[in-house]
Amino acid sequence: MSELIARAGRLPEAPPSQETEVGTAADMLEEDGERYVSTSSKRRLSARFEEIGSFGKYADVLYPGAIVQGKELQQGRLTPIEGRKKEIVLTLDNGTSMQVGSPTKASVNDAIQRLAVDSKPSAAQMVYQYSVIHSKESAFMKLGLNVDWLVGNIGNEFTEERSTKRSSVLLYLKQVYFTVSSDKPGFDSSVPVADLQPFIGEGNPPCYISTVSYGRIFLIKVTATTSSEKLENTLKAGYRMVSGQVEFTNLDENTTYSFQALVFGGSAQGAAKAITLQSIGEVNALIRREAQYSPTNPGMPISYTLRHLYDLSPVLLGQSVEYSIPKWEMDPNVRQNFDITFSSLEIGKDCDFGTAGDGDFYYRFEVFDRKGNRLGSPVERRWNDYVQGGDGEAIPINKTISFSIPRVHGESFRIMGYVRDNDSDDDSTDYQSMGAINLTMAYPWEGGDYNRPLYYSLDGSSSCNGKVYFLISTKR
């Protein structure tokens, strides 16, 4: 039997955890009728797990001293190797120990319960970590966890927010009540080697669960209507430790939050369950409940370590994932189309005193982008092609400037122009100014200034004034 175990050897050791850049990632997002694009660095995160988190998966196999197949461990599966086992010694982290003959899950759990009741362990201070959720897999890995260890579809509760307006952070809170270790287990001499050969061999070395920690775990996804950096800073500032318990305070009142929690241990009675919380107060209350070990609140197996049966060396599993951190910007290739139609010039005072007759008007209207480049063709009537009008009259224009500019934050356009009264048929510099237009329209191009008639008042003087009527039409 020892020869069979020796030939099976050990599993490859995962390299130390590291993170590297491996290229660029391009992405696109449609949100609230707008298109956003992102070009960011692609990252490869490799993690080595010296301790494996447990959320109730394979609970029927998980106990100190259990012997399992090595080839299944990388997939997060605990597959037992059946057969009568030798006696083992269980030791609590306070040094209390107990022998268990012919160990099974039932007999080991009974021994652990007696050890815990007799030694009255005191729960340790809660450990708190967090990770921004850029991808579900990378967020868990940065906390030393593998999302595949979660039971069923619970992991779907912790997916990233593909949004320019919302972000999420994953909080991981772990409280160990006590840890139990097992010395080296083995198969009883009555077990035939032939019965073990299908389950032990090259690439499938026998491993055993060396330690199991009992307590409770909280995974809390905090989603907020803010950037990941601001959310991260808010949670940092609001975190505090009160009597050994984590508590969060001082969240931004102007931000909307939602909380999705996964609870395992404590009063969960062995079942990992998802809970929707309405406020940070409910989060704090959830954490405070079942905070101490008692016979009625014994905790659940929340993490374990593995060793090779061959030489007692630790089993170091690994996982790699690629992810990116999007930097969303509005797509500059998506453009907003405009038609600005100048409909008429309404004359208040015609710029000619007394009975001098009607005014002789000419004008020019044009549009510029934020860099000063002209957009479209000007609407104009030149000085030597004036049109006449008197007080209170409306002079029709009915000409349009059409153009398009990128539909992105920071973009704008400026409507500029003038109306003048010509005072000489042979001198373009001899005129009276009714006034000038200088109007800037900035993104977002929505609301009351679009797709309805507008006017701009021209207040050159008490004897020379009027209004220009126009319509800014938006088209996608």
**Which CATH number characterizes residue 461's domain?**
2.60.40.150
Cβ atoms of residues 284 and 277 within 8 Å: no
72 beta partners:
none
Q: Are residues 306 and 441 in the same domain?
A: no
The pTM assigned to this predicted structure is: 0.74
Residue 301: cis peptide before it, omega within 30 degrees of 0 = no
Q: Domain ends where: 280, 304, 330?
A: 330
Q: Are residues 455 and 390 in the same domain?
A: yes
Q: Are residues 42 and 125 in the same domain?
A: yes
Beta strands in 233-280, from DSSP E residues, in sequence order: 239-242, 245-248, 257-265, 273-277
Cβ atoms of residues 272 and 151 within 8 Å: yes
Query: What is the structure's pLDDT at 63?
Result: 95
Q: Are residues 163 and 228 in the same domain?
A: yes
Virtual torsion, Cα 282, 283, 289, 292, nearest 10 deg: -160
Query: What is the structure's pLDDT at 296?
Result: 66
Q: Report the CATH number at residue 170.
A: 3.90.840.10
Q: Are residues 246 and 389 in the same domain?
A: no
Joined together, the tokens standing for residue 154 give 């619970």
Q: Are residues 207 and 347 in the same domain?
A: no
Q: Are residues 89 and 154 in the same domain?
A: yes
Q: Are residues 310 and 340 in the same domain?
A: no
Domain that holds residue 231: 1-330
Q: Are residues 345 and 291 in the same domain?
A: no
Q: Are residues 307 and 418 in the same domain?
A: no
User: Mean pLDDT by 10-residue block, N- to C-terminus, for the chain (476 residues)?
Assistant: 90 94 93 89 94 84 95 90 95 92 93 84 75 92 84 76 91 90 95 93 96 90 91 84 70 85 68 76 79 71 94 94 92 92 96 78 97 96 93 96 92 97 78 95 88 94 95 87
Nearest to 382 by CA among 344, 342, 420: 420
Q: Domain ends where: 268, 299, 330?
A: 330
Q: Are residues 235 and 356 in the same domain?
A: no
Domain count, the chain: 2
Q: Domain ends where: 284, 308, 330?
A: 330
Which residue has 């990233």 as its token pair? Answer: 160
CA distances from 349 to 280, 398, 470 (A): 65, 22, 20
Q: Are residues 278 and 133 in the same domain?
A: yes
Environment class of 86 (CB within 10 Å of its CB; exposed 0-12, middle 13-18, buried 19+): middle
